[in-house]
Amino acid sequence: MNREVRQRFDVLVVGGGPAGLVAAVRAAEAGAHVGIVDDNASLGGQIWRGEAKHEETAAQWISRLRTAGATTLCGLRVFHQPEAGVLLAETNENVHVLSYAKVVLATGARERFLPFPGWTLPNVTGVGGLQALVKSGLPIHGKRVVIAGTGPLLLAVAAYLREHGAEIPIICEQASWTSLARFGVTMFGQPSKIAQGFRLTRQLATVTFAPNSWPVAVHGKAAVEAVMISRQGRTETIPCDYLACGFHLVPNIELALLLGCQIQRGYVRVDDFQRTTVREVLCAGEPTGIGGIELALAEGQIAGLVASGQMNAAKKLFGQRSGARHFARTLDRAFRLRSELRRLPSPDTIVCRCEDTHYSRLSQHTSWRSAKLHTRCGMGPCQGRVCGPASEFLFEWNPDSVRPPIFPVRVESLAALSSEPELECGEVSGGHT
């Protein structure tokens, strides 16, 4: 148990979603020795989760990856950089010591969650979260699911759940009609989005889509029984089995921070060639700006080409990337969070789910750091990945730096951290785990 596995790559890709997958392919096709690491059981990331075999684009890239001969390492969680050019990752059994000449960070994004009374009840999940659970075998047929929050994911997941037999009484989108109309116009300006739009419209023809609407409170004893929503200024209560709620996406930048990459306005700063401010470290996809799959595919390929020294081939993709970036900026504007959402938590609403820290305790502080030190908010196993972005929005606090390990690891894996003598056990174990 807990064997140490050592591997060396010309190009190491962290993240097996679209950006990472295509980066690995482009580098491996040039003859580089490539490794691709992902913490899930298979490649594809969140968007292609469980569908990599059926989705045509995904299947093509995965087959190219196999032909090119890259090493796939699934079920590995990267948690530390003991020295430049080396990353540590753990599986349920082993610790991997991964050395690289170049690394491409394609760590994707997670949903932003905002606290409101009752949001910690079982069966309140993320929007992408519920889709992931259904893709992982959760039966949803005949269940009543209220979908709420903001962003394009709401419609996509509603269509998916409906296809799997769920009843969707309403989709609550916090953005206004005006804001959405602007987004709609731009979205339909892109050919691949038009097809997507038509498909969604057909699947969701009978579902109520309510802009200017958001969840106010969840009622239930052991799990969700109903959700109270604010709809165009009026409240109503809707009985349901699940509330799937997410407020767009936040980038996973923890690993980039750990490696010392500069962050600009919340995203990893990269140049035209997807190079970060740290030598040998490139970044692609959502961590450089939330932009969806088209942008991820363009950025990932550029990163893979650059990491394997093909600068001219990379330049040819700049045009494709700039089109996708324009779409990303539109998303940001259309789904900007409205200030009313800051007033959703009541004093006893839990903000930090790991430590059960209430809103009233946090609101006494003036910074994230002060709140962490005095309330243990953000100090639990998720290390602030949920309450950090929430607090950033609620209190307009700036995020803190990260410390290794960036995920809680098993005590056995801590041996591999011995080059960090200043770390105490209580800190490195990352809270309760």
Nearest partner of 285 among 97, 110, 78, 74, judged by Cα: 110
Interface with other proteins in residues 387-426 (CB under 8 A): 408
Q: Which is nearer to other proteins, 25 or 382 (CB)?
A: 382
Nearest distance in Å: CB 346, other proteins: 16
Nearest distance in Å: CB 138, other proteins: 5
Strands 226-231, 234-239: pairing is antiparallel
CB of 232 closer than 8 Å to CB of 209: no
Q: Which is nearer to other proteins, 137 or 233 (CB)?
A: 137
Task: Please count the residues of this chain forming the interface with other proteins, following the rule CB under 8 A.
Answer: 42
| Rounded alpha-carbon distances, angstroms, from residue 345 to 115, 228, 320, 342 | 6, 13, 42, 7
4, 6, 31, 41: which one binds other proteins (CB under 8 A): 41
Q: Which is nearer to other proteins, 50 or 82 (CB)?
A: 50
With binding defined as CB under 8 A, does residue 107 bind other proteins?
no
Residue with tokens 């401010």: 277
With binding defined as CB under 8 A, does residue 57 bind other proteins?
no
With binding defined as CB under 8 A, does residue 124 bind other proteins?
yes
Nearest distance in Å: CB 404, other proteins: 17
Interface with other proteins in residues 311-340 (CB under 8 A): none
Structure token digits, residue 241 = 């089995």
10, 111, 286, 294: which one binds other proteins (CB under 8 A): 111
Contact mark string toward other proteins, 83..102, x via CB under 8 A: ---------x----------
Structure token digits, residue 433 = 């785990």
CB of 59 closer than 8 Å to CB of 44: no
23, 154, 354, 417: which one binds other proteins (CB under 8 A): 354
Q: Which is nearer to other proteins, 285 or 304 (CB)?
A: 285
Which range binds other proteins by CB under 8 A, 107-115, 159-167, 188-196, 279-287? 107-115
Q: Quickly count: other Cβ atoms within 10 Å of residue 358's Cβ.
A: 19
Q: Which is nearer to other proteins, 162 or 376 (CB)?
A: 376
380, 388, 399, 404: which one binds other proteins (CB under 8 A): 380
Which range binds other proteins by CB under 8 A, 60-68, 115-123, 277-285, 397-405? 115-123
Q: Which is nearer to other proteins, 124 or 302 (CB)?
A: 124
Q: Which is nearer to other proteins, 94 or 99 (CB)?
A: 94
Q: Which is nearer to other proteins, 42 or 99 (CB)?
A: 42
Nearest distance in Å: CB 52, other proteins: 13
Which range binds other proteins by CB under 8 A, 160-168, 176-184, 305-313, 351-359? 351-359
With binding defined as CB under 8 A, does residue 262 bind other proteins?
no
231, 353, 369, 403: which one binds other proteins (CB under 8 A): 353
Interface with other proteins in residues 126-165 (CB under 8 A): 126, 128-133, 136-139
Interface with other proteins in residues 282-301 (CB under 8 A): none
Interacting residues of 320 by C-beta distance below 8 A, sequence separation 6+? 298
Which range binds other proteins by CB under 8 A, 55-63, 169-177, 328-336, 376-384? 376-384
Tell me which residues touch other proteins (CB under 8 A): 39-41, 46, 50, 75, 77, 92, 110-111, 113, 120, 122-126, 128-133, 136-139, 222-223, 252, 353-356, 380-382, 385-386, 408, 432-433
